[in-house]
C-alpha cells in the first residue's frame, strides 16, 4: 500500500497595488462621438437602483485621467435613504467601501419612489418613479459552437404584459476546481505540517472560485414584434477554463429598465469605447436623473431606476461536454531531486513504502489555491461531497 506526502511553503506577497475598475456598461449601441467632453473631477457618482427586498447603492467621486492610478475614492460618510411619495423614508445602512443598502421590501405598483443622499455638505435626489415589474427569467443555457470554441452563458426571457422593452442583467458565478495531483501531508493554514484528507477541508486538492459580472449587461426587444429576449449572451468562458472542469454555478439577476435608463447607460459605454479608457473624461451633458438639490449647477453622475428584480440560478456539470481539459505537465515534472528548479514555489514530497525515496514536484501541481480566484471557501449549498 503506497501513500503520498506533501511538504511546501506558501510565500506571501505584500504591497500589491489594487486598481479598482469602474463598472463598465454594455448594450446594443450605435457608433458615437462624445461632444462637450471635459474632465470632471471630484463630482458625486451614484450607482444602483431601487428594487424590491433590498436596494444597493455605491457612492464614489469621479477622477481625472491624471489621477487614474489612485482609482476612485468611495464616499463612506453619506446619509442615504429611499423615499416614498407619501414622505416615508427607508433608511440606508453603510456596509463598507462606499456601499449602502436599503431594506425596501415589496414595491407598491401605485407608489412612486426616489433616492435621497446627503454627502459632502450637499443634498441629492433622483426623480420620483413608479416601479416597473420585471418578468421572470425563462432559462439560462450554455451554448458552444464546436470543439475549441468558447462557451457562452445565455439568458432567455419574455414579457407578455409588455411593460418595457429594455433589460439589464448581472450575475455571480462559483465553480469547483481541483489540483492535478493529490497529497495527504503538508502545510495549509499554519506553519505546522498536517495530514490531508479528501473527506475534510484539510487538503489542497479541492477548491472553489468566485467571480461576478464587471459590467451591467444591456439588451432590448424594441424592434421585435413580441417582447422576447432570446439567447442574450451574459458571459463567455474559454473551453479550457477550470471553471468548467467539475461543476459550474451561476445566479443571474434581471431587471426591466426605462428607455431613459437604457440610453443613459449606453451613452456612458459609448464614451468609454470612443476614448479608450475606463477613466475617460465625462461629457458634460451626460446627466442622469439625479440632481443636486442644494446646488442645481453641480454635476452628478448616475441614473436611479425603480424596478423589481428577478433571479434564477443553475448548475452546469462537467458531463455536458463543455470542458476541454488542457494538457498538464505535472506527471512529467515529478522528480527525486528536492532542488529541481522550483525552490521559490515550494515543492511536495511523494513517499512510498521504504526503501523507495521521496519524490518531488511543483507546488502548482498540488495546490488548488494557486488556480484563478480559488480558495478553500466551500459554499454551504454546494451539492458535491467535496471539501
User: Per-residue pLDDT tens for 242-278?
Assistant: 999 999 999 999 999 999 999 998 888 777 667 655 4
Answer with the residue of higher pLDDT: 8 or 61. Answer: 61
Q: Residue 304: is its pLDDT beyond 50?
A: yes
86 pLDDT band, cuts 50/70/90, is very high
Task: Work out the average pLDDT over 364-386.
Answer: 93
Buried b (16+ CB within 10 A) or exposed e, 79-101: ebbbbbeeeeebebebeeebbbe
Dist. CA 315–CA 249, nearest whole Å: 4
Asked whether 25 and 216 are in contact (CB, 8 A), the reply is: yes
Neighbours of 107 (CB within 10 A): 21
Instruction: At 156, list the grid cell.
Output: 432567455
Asked whether 49 and 296 are in contact (CB, 8 A), the reply is: no
Q: Looking up cell 459554499, which residue turns up?
A: 379
Dist. CA 298–CA 300, nearest whole Å: 7
Q: How far is CA 184 from CA 10, 195, 367, 377, in A?
A: 17, 5, 12, 19
Task: Work out the average pLDDT over 46-63.
Answer: 91
pTM of the shown model: 0.81
H or E segment at 185?
A: strand 185-186
What is the residue-averaged pLDDT of the chain?
81
Q: Residue 284: is its pLDDT beyond 70?
A: no
Least confident of 80-89, 232-241, 334-343: 334-343
pLDDT at 280: 52
C-alpha of 138 from chain center: 22
Answer with the residue of higher pLDDT: 34 or 161. Answer: 161
pLDDT tens per residue across span 192-244: 777 778 888 988 899 999 999 988 899 999 888 999 999 999 999 999 999 99
Q: Residue 289: is its pLDDT beyond 90?
A: yes
Q: Domain boundaries in the chain?
A: 24-375
3 state DSSP class of 69: helix
Opening angle at CA 366, ends 361 and 368, nearest 5: 150
Give the count of alpha carbons within 13 A of 230, CB side only. Answer: 4
Q: pLDDT > 90: what percent of the chain? A: 59
pLDDT at 314: 97
pLDDT at 106: 97
Q: Residue 65: is its pLDDT beyond 80?
A: no
Task: Work out the average pLDDT over 103-128.
Answer: 97
pLDDT at 17: 27
Q: Residue 175: is its pLDDT beyond 90?
A: yes
Question: Which residues does residue 25 pair with via DSSP β-bridges, in sequence order?
Answer: 216
Question: Which residues does residue 155 pair with via DSSP β-bridges, in sequence order?
Answer: 140, 232
370 pLDDT band, cuts 50/70/90, is very high
Opening angle at CA 379, ends 376 and 382, nearest 5: 115
pLDDT at 214: 84
Task: Work out the average pLDDT over 110-126.
Answer: 97
Q: Are strands 79-84 and 89-96 parallel, antiparallel or unpaired?
A: antiparallel
Instruction: At 374, list the grid cell.
Output: 480559488
Q: Residue 135: is its pLDDT beyond 50?
A: yes
Task: Work out the average pLDDT over 327-333.
Answer: 86
Task: Give 199-204's long-range contacts (Cβ < 8 A, gap of 24+).
Answer: 199/387, 200/387, 201/376, 201/378, 201/387, 202/387, 203/387, 204/6, 204/179, 204/366, 204/367, 204/368, 204/369, 204/376
Amino acid at each position: 500500500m503506497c501513500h503520498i506526502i506533501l511538504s511546501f511553503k506558501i510565500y506571501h506577497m505584500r504591497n500589491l497595488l489594487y486598481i479598482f475598475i469602474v463598472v463598465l456598461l454594455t448594450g446594443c449601441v450605435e457608433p458615437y462621438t462624445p461632444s462637450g467632453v471635459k474632465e470632471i473631477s471630484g463630482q458625486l457618482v451614484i450607482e444602483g437602483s431601487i428594487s424590491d427586498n433590498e436596494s444597493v447603492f455605491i457612492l464614489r467621486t469621479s477622477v481625472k485621467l491624471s489621477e487614474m492610478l489612485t482609482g476612485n475614492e468611495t464616499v463612506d460618510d453619506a446619509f442615504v435613504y429611499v423615499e416614498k411619495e407619501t414622505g416615508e423614508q427607508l433608511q440606508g445602512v453603510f456596509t463598507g467601501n462606499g456601499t449602502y443598502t436599503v431594506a425596501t421590501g415589496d414595491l407598491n405598483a401605485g407608489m412612486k419612489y426616489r433616492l435621497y443622499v446627503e454627502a459632502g455638505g450637499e443634498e441629492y435626489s433622483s426623480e420620483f418613479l413608479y416601479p416597473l415589474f420585471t418578468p421572470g427569467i425563462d432559462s439560462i443555457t450554455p451554448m458552444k459552437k464546436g470543439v475549441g470554441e468558447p462557451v457562452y452563458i445565455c439568458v432567455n426571457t419574455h414579457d407578455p404584459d409588455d411593460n418595457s422593452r429594455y433589460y439589464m442583467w448581472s450575475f455571480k458565478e462559483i465553480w469547483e476546481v481541483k489540483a492535478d495531483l493529490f497529497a495527504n501531508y503538508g502545510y495549509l493554514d499554519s506553519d505546522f505540517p498536517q495530514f490531508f484528507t479528501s473527506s475534510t477541508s484539510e487538503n489542497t486538492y479541492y477548491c472553489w472560485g468566485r467571480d461576478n459580472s464587471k459590467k451591467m449587461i444591456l439588451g432590448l426587444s424594441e424592434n421585435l414584434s413580441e417582447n422576447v429576449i432570446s439567447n442574450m449572451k451574459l458571459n463567455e468562458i474559454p473551453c479550457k477554463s477550470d471553471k468548467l472542469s467539475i461543476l459550474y454555478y451561476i445566479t443571474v439577476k434581471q431587471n426591466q429598465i426605462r428607455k431613459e435608463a437604457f440610453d443613459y447607460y449606453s451613452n456612458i459605454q459609448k464614451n468609454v469605447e470612443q476614448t479608450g479608457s475606463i477613466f475617460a473624461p465625462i461629457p458634460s451633458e451626460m446627466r442622469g436623473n439625479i440632481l443636486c438639490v442644494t446646488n442645481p449647477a453641480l454635476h452628478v453622475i448616475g441614473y436611479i431606476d425603480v424596478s423589481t428584480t428577478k433571479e434564477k440560478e443553475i448548475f452546469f456539470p462537467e458531463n455536458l461536454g463543455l470542458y476541454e481539459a488542457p494538457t498538464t505537465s505535472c506527471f512529467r515534472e515529478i522528480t527525486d531531486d528536492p532542488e529541481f528548479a522550483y525552490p521559490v514555489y515550494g515543492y511536495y514530497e511523494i513517499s512510498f513504502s521504504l526503501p523507495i525515496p521521496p519524490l518531488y514536484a511543483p507546488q502548482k501541481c498540488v495546490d488548488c489555491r494557486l488556480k484563478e480566484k480559488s480558495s478553500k471557501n466551500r459554499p454551504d449549498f454546494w451539492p458535491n461531497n467535496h471539501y
